[in-house]
Structure 1
């Protein structure tokens, strides 16, 4: 099995940090219960609190895509509309 690693970087508007943080935290419990989720950890930058990073590991790209189409991701996107400046998902493969 080839595990897919995801690094998702979310940068909020500085006046919406707490809103986005609370919405991101809501994603953790349901996502960790999803089929194929091996790891789903949220981090916040110590120097720039408006920057968040998810470090994720998934069994497959198909299961990641199911996650991205889930009701809790849809609810997050609706709740944070206009509050996020950038959202970048990097799909990665572990080399060593």
Structure 2
């Protein structure tokens, strides 16, 4: 089943309604975008602005963006959210909607976002 929030394609999931209903302590989100050579600086700045804004949202445990060492045009996102409700709220924030618009303008490609339920394991 195709999974999306606020018109943003998230990816395929066998049971998207089941996400966030298990014993998981957090939702992990990964995704990436690849900039056009002439837009990499603008996309990197838009990504950093989005990350910094997202970190202030209720339910955000962590939110980061990294440059791919093998492809410096590719930016990789890693996020941890308290629960699915927090993540859904995040996707409809005006800043998130603006960021997606910037990605559509500045990126040459973007991968579907992947969602995972996770629990911390004691070492």
Cα distance in 2 between the residues matched to 1:68 and 1:11: 20
Q: TM-score, normalised by structure 2?
A: 0.69
Q: TM-score, normalised by structure 1?
A: 0.86
Gaps of 5+ in 1: none
Q: CA RMSD in A?
A: 1.8
Number of aligned residue pairs: 96
Match of 2:11 in 1: none
Match of 2:34 in 1: 11
Gaps of 5+ in 2: 1-23
Kindly state the Cα deviation for residue 2 of structure 1 after the two structures are TM-superposed.
Answer: 2.4
Relative to its length, the structure with more helix (as a share) is 1
Match of 2:80 in 1: 57
Q: Tell me, yes or no, if the aligned pair for 2:63 and 2:79 is still in contact at 8 Å.
A: yes
Q: Which has the larger radius of gyration?
A: 2
3-state secondary structure, aligned to 2:95: helix
Kindly state the Cα deviation for residue 41 of structure 1 after the two structures are TM-superposed.
Answer: 1.3
Kindly state the Cα deviation for residue 49 of structure 1 after the two structures are TM-superposed.
Answer: 1.1
